[in-house]
Amino acid sequence: METISTAIVGKGALGLLYADIITTHDPKHEVFFVMDNARYERHRNEHVVINDVPCTFTTLPLDQAKKADLVLVATKTTGLIDALDIIEPLLKPDTLVVSVLNGITSEEYLAQRFGWDRVVPCVAQGMDAMRFGSTMTYSQLGALHIGRFEQTSAKSYERLRAMFDVLGIPSVEEADIRYRMWAKFLLNVGLNQTCAVYNYTYADVLKEGEANRVMIAAMREVLALAQAEQVALTEAELNHMVGLISTLDPQATPSMGQDRINHNLSEVDEFAGEVIRRAEKHHLLVPTNRYLYDCMKRIEAQY
């Protein structure tokens, strides 16, 4: 495959992680970040340090955006709607668009705007990247899990598999990508929200105590909701996800924990909020997620 140009929308921990992976694997591949003009003015002179190594990545304002073969969407879910206008000028006729966002809704938003011929479902899992200010650290690369919905173009899926191989992006093919999305959602709802509310690390939340019980209870509410939505998540998947936490940097914290530290609005509406909205349709009780939602909203109100 020829040299691939990759545009990344979102310069947080995951965006920087994949820029670093691609450029480390083969510097000849063009990688650049794109952001709206106002954000660009705030970040244009920013110097990034990744695992103690200074890194320089090309960052372009929207009015100088170039077209790319691959667009990685790495914003927060709270920024996805605004990101749609940034993505559009990056597209060539065959550009692929891949979301590494948390949650279970981003592909639908992207496909509604750009079409299922461009969008390949994806789940980012197993990485422990953290960004504070201009410093980003990670010890686990994790992988991008990819698969097909009924609407997904087989040609686009195969092209993306080949692109990831060329770019050096670790990936896993999923026979049931919707199951994998819900499994990651299960983890996010329990882990991310609990770490944020209690201001805990991965190691903290695994210790016996109130926070650990809250995390498990929130995840069990997702199990019940998944069954109602015809997704066959089981207690075995919950156990697997809790085990996965122990493989991450024990002193690190997930994205919502980082949001609390950085005084950024979190993805609580995509996690507990989405659980609550869907649970109401199925007449399910989700008191733990309501508790986490209310706690996080109170924390954010104090920023």
- In 3D, which of 214, 221, 172, 163 has the Cα closest to residue 193? 214
Q: Are 104 and 186 in contact (CB under 8 A)?
A: no
> Which long-range contacts link 230-234 to residues 24+ away (Cβ below 8 Å)?
231/178, 231/179, 231/182, 232/179, 233/179, 233/182, 233/183, 233/186
d(CA 153, CA 198): 42
Q: What are the structural domains, with CATH classification, of the chain?
A: 5-173 (3.40.50.720), 177-301 (1.10.1040.10)
Which strands form 30-35's sheet, in the order they lie side by side? 58-61, 30-35, 5-9, 68-73, 91-99
Closest of 127, 108, 104 to residue 116, by C-alpha: 108
Question: In terms of residues, how long is the chain?
Answer: 303
Name residues whose C-beta falls within 8 Å of residue 189's C-beta, 6 or more positions apart in sequence. 218, 219, 221, 222, 271, 272, 275, 289
Phi/psi at 229 (5° precision): -95, 15
Q: How far is CA 243 from CA 171, 224, 233, in A?
A: 20, 20, 16
- Burial class for 219, CB neighbours closer than 10 Å (0-12, 13-18, 19+): buried
8 A C-beta contact, residue 88 and residue 59: no
For the entire predicted model, the pTM comes to 0.89
Task: Identify whether the C-beta of residue 293 lies closer than 8 Å to the C-beta of residue 272.
Answer: yes
Pairing of strands 130-132, 135-137: antiparallel
Per-residue pLDDT of the chain (303 residues; tens, 9 = 90+): 578 999 999 999 999 999 999 999 999 999 999 999 999 998 888 889 999 999 989 999 999 999 999 999 999 888 999 999 999 999 999 999 999 999 999 999 999 999 999 999 999 998 999 899 899 999 999 999 999 999 999 999 999 999 999 999 999 999 999 999 999 999 999 999 999 999 999 999 999 999 999 999 999 999 999 999 999 999 999 999 999 999 989 999 999 999 999 999 999 999 999 999 999 999 999 999 999 999 999 999 999
Q: Where are the beta strands (DSSP E) in the chain?
A: 5-9, 30-35, 48-50, 53-55, 58-61, 68-73, 91-99, 122-127, 130-132, 135-137, 141-146, 171-173
Tokens standing for residue 282: 């199925």
